[in-house]
Amino acid sequence: MAVKIPAFRKKFPLLVTGSLLALQPVAMPVAIAAEQFACQPGAGGGWDCASSAASPTLPPRPANRGTAAESSTGAVAQAGTSKAQRQAATTTDVTKSKGRALASRSADYSHLDWVPREQLTNAQLAETGPYCAGAYIEPSRPGQFDDTPMSEAPTYVSAKATRHEQEQEVSTLAGEVVLRQGSMQAEADEASLYQLENRGELKGNVRLRDRNALLVGDRAEIFLDTGEAKVENAEYVIHDSRTRGSAQYAKREETAIIRLKDGTYTSCAPSENTWHLRGNNVTLNPATGFGSATNVTLRVKDIPVFYTPYIHFPIDDRRQSGFLMPTIGSSSDTGLALLTPYYFNLAPNFDATLYPHFMSDRGLLMEGEFRYLTRSSEGQFGAAWLDDDNDDRKLQSEYEDQRWMYSWQNRSGLDSRLLAEIDYTDISDPYYFQDLDTQLGISQPDFLDQRGTLTWRGDSYTARLNVHAYERATVTDITPYERLPQLTLDGRLPYQPGGLSFTYKTEFVSFQRSLRDGNFFNEDGNPERWYDDRLRGLSRAEGERVHVEPGVSLPLNWSWGFVKPSLKFLYTHYDLDIDQRGEDSLFMEQQFKSSQDRQVPVFSVDSGLYFDRDTQLFGSDYRQTLEPRLFYLYVPEEDQTDIPIFDSGESSFSYSSLWRENRFSGKDRIGDANQVSLGVTSRWVEPNGLERQRFSIGQAFYFEDRKVTMPDSYNGQPDRTPLDKRSDYTSDVSPYALEYMYRYNRDWHFTSTFNWDPDSHRTRSGSAMWHYQPADNPGKIVNIGYRYRNDTMRFNQVTGEWQYGGDYGNCDTNPDECIKDYYKIDQHDFSFIWPVVPQWSVIGRWQHDYSRSRTLEAFGGFEYDSCCWKMRLISRYWIDYDETSLNPDRNDEPDTGLFLQIVFKGLGNVIGGATETFLDEGIQGYRERENQAF
C-alpha cells in the first residue's frame, strides 16, 4: 500500500510505522504485531510498504522472548513501563564498576555476547586465547551483513504490541521491541517513535547492534535515517578486537564513530579489571581501527599507574597516524632511556615512523624511517642523528661525537625483465651500532653493505651489473675488497643437440680497497698497530679479474637413476697492482706478476641410483628409499701461488662438499683433484608424504695428494708445516661424513651431522640439535643442541697469514696477542619455554663455550600469561662485546641484568620491549610461539 508523505524528512523510514498504524480503523486502538512490514519511499511521493509474510525472500521476523501479546493498550504500556523502570532501578551506574562489566544486567555477562569457554565451538576455541574464560561471540541475526545504504534500506519492526497517538504523532511499541534497518539493529523493552522530532526513544534493556559492535544501556535515542544513536549508562563490545568498555553515555555517529563520556577501554574478561584505560572523552573509530582519549589514566586493579593528557591507541590491526606505545628502560651505556615513537600513516602504500629516543647519558637520538610500496618498487629510507654527550671513546681512533646513520633499501622492477636493487647504509663511526640501538630493522654485520645492482633476466641468460662497497662497523678486522664494479653474464644455449647442455659463466670485476696504516689508539689512548698495516705480500694487491667458464654436460635421467658427465674450461686473467710494502714483503714462494693467466679444465661424472620398497617400522607403513651416489672429479694441478686472494676461502668439510667441483669458494683458487666420492641416502616416507627419517653417509677417495692451497707463509721455517702437507691434504681418504634427521612426529625432530677422520681417529666437526614444539600447543618449546668444529682455514689478521685451526694470533711467537682456541667451536645450547601450571611458564637458556671455559649467555625466569595481559621477569647473564681495543679478548665483558616485561593485550608493550630481542634470538621457535598466541 502507499500513504502520503507526512510532514517530516522522507528519509526517516522508521517513522512510517506510525503512519501504518494511523490507517487502521479507529475502533481498533490496539494492533497485535502479527506481521512485519518493509517500507520504502515510493516513486510517486508516498511510501511503498509490503508485508514480509508475502515475500519469502525477506529475513525472518525476530523471535520474541515472550509467549503472547498483552490484550489492551493500557496493559501493554503499564507492563512495558514497569519493566523498564524496574531495570533502570536495579542497574548499577557504570562509572562505579571499577573497570568491570555490570553483573547487575546479567550475572553471566551474556548481555555483552559473552560466551563461557565450555560453551564455545571448536572453531571458536581456535580463535580464543588458551587462558581466556570465554569470548565475545556476535550472534547470527537477519541483516547482519547487509551493506545497503541507510537512506535506501527498508526498516523491519517487531514488538508484542503497538499503540499510535495520531494527534501527537507518537507511536509506542512494547514488549521485546526489535527495529532493524540495514546492518543496524535496536532492541529494547519499550520504544517510542516521535515523528515530529525525527527520533526514537528506547527504554529498558537497550541493545544497539552493528557489524562487529554492540552497545548496551538503560535508555537510548536513535535516528535510523543516519544511524546516529545515544545510549545512557552504556557498555560496549567490539567483537573482532576482543575489547570492551563502558561510559556514562555513548554516542554513535552517522559514520559509525563511537564517542564515550567518562569512558573505559580494556581487553580483559567482563569479570576482571586487571587493567583498563579511563578517559574523560574517548573516541573509537571502527573504520580506521584506532581510538583516542583525553585526560587518560592507565589503571591496574583500578589503581592509577600512568597519566597522559592524550593517547591514541589501536582497536584492531589496521594502521593510523599517532603515538605508539612508549618504551622506558635503563642501561649502563645509555642511562635512563625513553623512546616515544610516532607513526605517520601517509597513504595505503606509504608510511613513516619517527623515533625520538632520549638517553640521559647521551642525549636525544632522533631516528626516522619512510617505507613505500608502488606498483614496481618497494623499499625504505632510514636516518638517525645524535649529538653524543658520552665521551668514553674520545681517545679512540675514528670516534665521532656527532653520530649519524642513514640507510636506503630498494627493489624496483623497471620492467618484466629488469630488476634494480639498492642496499646502502652509512654510519658516522665504526662504534655506532655497538653503542646505540636502532629501531629501523637494519642488519648489523661487521661491514655494512653499500651495494647497487641491475639485473636483466633473458630467456636463457642473466646479466648483472653490481657495484658493491662496504662501510666498516668494526675496528678488529681487515678491510674487505670492494667490487667497483662487477659484471656477470651467466646462461645456457637455447638449443641442446643430442641432449647436450651448453652453459657459460663470465665475470669482470675490479677489486679495490683503502687500507688503514699506522696505529690505532684504544680507549686509554695507547697505540696498537692497525691490522691492515700488518698485511704483507700479495695481500696488499688490488686489480681486475676476468673469468670465463664455458661448459658442456649430458644429463641422462631415468626413474631409477641418473648420469651426468660434465666438462668445463676455466680461464681467468688478472691485471694487478701492488704497493711497495707489499712487493717488499712477498712470501718466499711468491712473485708479483702484474698480468697473469690461469687455465684449468674440470671433468666430472655425477651418477646415482634410486631404489624403494614398502616396509614397516614400529608397526607403521613406510616407503623406504635407498639412493646410492657416485661422483668422480678430475682437475689437474695449476700453480696459483702468485695469484692474490680477493674473494676466496677454503670451504669446511661436510656431506654436501663430497659433490662439489671445487673445494674453494670464489674464483681465486681452483682446487686440484683426482678423486671419487661415494655416498648413500636412505629415507623413510609415510603415505601422507611426511619424511620421517633420513640418513646419509659418504666418503671421498683420493688418487693424488692435493697441492693447491691458500697462500702459504711457510718460508722453510723448521717449526712450521706447509699447508699442502696437512694431513687432510695427504690422506688417501676423506673423513666419514654423516647426516641424520628424524621426525618423531610433526611436533619434534632431531638433526645431526658428524664428520670423523679415520686417519687421526678424531672428530673433525659435528652437531646435534633436538627441537620440540607441538603444533597444537606452540607454547611448549625445548631445544637441546651441541656443535663442534676445529677444522677451519681462515685468515689471521694478527699475523697477516692464512692458518689452519682455531687460535687467534700466533701463540708461539706472540703470546700476548694470542687467544687460544678463539675460533674453535665447542658449545652446547639448551633453551626452553615450558608451562608448569595454567598461565605460568618457565623460560631459560644456557649457552656454554667449552673451548674457552665460559658461559656465553644464560637467562632464566618466568612468564605469566592471561587473556588480557602478560608479564615476564627474567634474570640474564651474557658476554657483551664492546670494541675498546684491537684484541677481541679485551673487548669481551660479562654483564648481568634483570628484565621485566609487561604487555597489556589490546594496548601493547608497556615496559621491557628489549626482552623480546634476546628471547627471539636465543630460543628457536619463540617467534612462531608469539605469532600463534592470542
Q: Which three cell numbers stand for residue 170?
A: 507518537
**Residue 236: partners with Cβ closer than 8 Å, 6 or more residues away:** 213, 214, 215, 216, 244, 245, 246, 247, 250, 258, 260, 284
Longest distance between any two alpha carbons in the chain, whole Å: 127
pLDDT at 46: 42
Which DSSP string corresponds to 610-632?
-EEEEEEETTEEEEEEEEEEEEE
Using the 8-state DSSP alphabet, how is residue 817 labeled? G
pLDDT at 311: 76
Report strand pairing: 37-41 vs 213-223: unpaired
**Contact by Cβ (8 Å): 556, 499:** yes
Residues of the chain with pLDDT under 70: 1-90, 224, 227, 313, 714-719, 933-934
pLDDT at 68: 33
Question: What pTM value is reported for the model?
Answer: 0.79
Using the 8-state DSSP alphabet, how is residue 493 labeled? -
pLDDT at 372: 96
Angle at 188 between CA 183 and CA 191, to 5 degrees: 100
Q: What domains does the chain contain, in order, with CATH numbers?
A: 94-258 (2.60.450.10), 833-932 (no CATH)
926 φ/ψ sector (left φ>0, alpha ψ -120 to 50, else beta) = alpha
pLDDT at 224: 63
516/533 Cα distance (integer angstroms) = 6
532/138 Cα distance (integer angstroms) = 68
pLDDT at 6: 31
b/e sequence 880-894, b meaning 16+ C-beta within 10 Å: eebbbbbbbeebeee
Which DSSP string corresponds to 827-863?
EEEEEEEEEEETTEEEEEEEEEETTTTEEEEEEEEEE
Distance set, CA 915 to CA 100, 129, 854, 861 (Å): 31, 22, 23, 11
Q: Taking the CB of residue 22, how many other CB atoms lie within 10 A of it?
A: 16
pLDDT at 259: 87
Distance set, CA 487 to CA 307, 386, 422, 543 (Å): 59, 38, 16, 15
Q: Which three cell numbers stand for residue 129?
A: 586465547
Which DSSP string corresponds to 631-679?
EEEEE-----TTS--SS-EEPPP-SGGGG-S-SEESSS----EEEEEEE
Angle at 345 between CA 870 and CA 354, to 5 degrees: 70
Where is 232: in which H helix or E strand? strand 228-238
pLDDT at 312: 72
Using the 8-state DSSP alphabet, how is residue 414 labeled? S
